[in-house]
Structure 1
């Protein structure tokens, strides 16, 4: 799928989040909550680093965007698995809200794979905000305990972000990267016009 020889420094930071999964699983298996939380913090930190480097060094690419998205999704899943094992009481007490945020996300992934054959890489402002909130909440919960106002805010932003992602999937016939949001997509005539060219009667 990817050629490691062509990877740039931002790609390697994204790849770290994927490669860290077995280590995080091992920490969960052996009940090492503190080690799991610290290494999860490192994974979340690389998400900020790779994006900054890609923009600063002007090395953004479709490969990098896809790696970044895969790394983000895997890190979120690992964070949720960590919560299940280390904060099971909180998860069971709030499973309805957690499902409210997570099930639409799964639906969005299914729609994306059916249409594009891979995950989206829109990297909208809402998606970035949602990822930051998720990371802060999960890490804070694992380090110190739950903050409920942050939990509710995270759920609301997560649901809105997923709705926006699904809307963008239907707006773009072909896979695209780096769309700031629906407003910017409507102004993105260069990429949106591909749909009208191939479907002149629509």
Structure 2
């Protein structure tokens, strides 16, 4: 049963994302509070699925690829639900959101073209950006606006997307959990990189 915990946590994010969309559509009372609580739970499952998998020594490539794909679906679901609640924010910032979305799609295109697999680098920069995205979504959910935090999220998002593309281009073979460009260079040279059960593995 323990070996199934990471997968359960991963798939729970799909359910949480769908619930947030449903709640936004039916416009339940206290939607903002409920959505933020569910978003927080989703983020916690994202943090702990990998940690638990590594401590149980079941952090396989298949599991990491699944984790990465579900992460995308989860945050897109929250974004869609937030759009339903706050369409003006998305209209005002449409071009930046489109650019970010395009950068994310480009990552997957590069990975599929080069390796025939989806990206699962789980870089440190991407983890930092996820926290910024989390904070931005909370602010938009509660206030239907975000200026400083959203702009920071936008620029950090572009930088981290660019780093992931660089990592993919540097790697000779598909590898999951590559913390940074420096580590991808080490791997290209045939060296091993130090992995932590807490952050990558």
- Within 2, Cα distance between the matches of 1:50 and 1:111? 26
Tell me whether 91-100 or 129-138 shows the greater mean CA deviation: 91-100
- Structure 1-normalised TM-score? 0.81
Q: Number of matched residues?
A: 188
Kept after mapping to 2: 8 A contact 1:18/1:71: yes
| CA apart distance, 1:49 | 1.8
- Within 2, Cα distance between the matches of 1:43 and 1:118? 25
| CA apart distance, 1:58 | 3.8
| CA apart distance, 1:119 | 1.6
Match of 1:50 in 2: 49
- Within 2, Cα distance between the matches of 1:88 and 1:48? 29
1:150 equivalent in alignment to 2:149 = yes
- Within 2, Cα distance between the matches of 1:187 and 1:116? 19
Match of 2:16 in 1: 20
Residue segments in structure 2 that go unaligned for 5+ positions in a row: 193-201
Kept after mapping to 1: 8 A contact 2:103/2:161: yes
- Within 1, Cα distance between the matches of 2:8 and 2:78? 21
CA offsets, 1:85-139, max 9 Å, x none? 1111111111122222221111212222233333211011111111111112102
Match of 1:40 in 2: 39
Kept after mapping to 2: 8 A contact 1:24/1:78: yes
- Structure 2-normalised TM-score? 0.82
1:186 equivalent in alignment to 2:182 = no
SS of residue paired to 2:117: coil
Kept after mapping to 1: 8 A contact 2:25/2:84: no
- Within 1, Cα distance between the matches of 2:7 and 2:190? 27
Runs of 4+ in 1 over 4 A off after TM superposition: none
CA offsets, 1:172-197, max 9 Å, x none? 243211101101111123379xxxxx
| Two-structure CA RMSD over aligned residues (Å) | 2.4
SS of residue paired to 1:20: helix
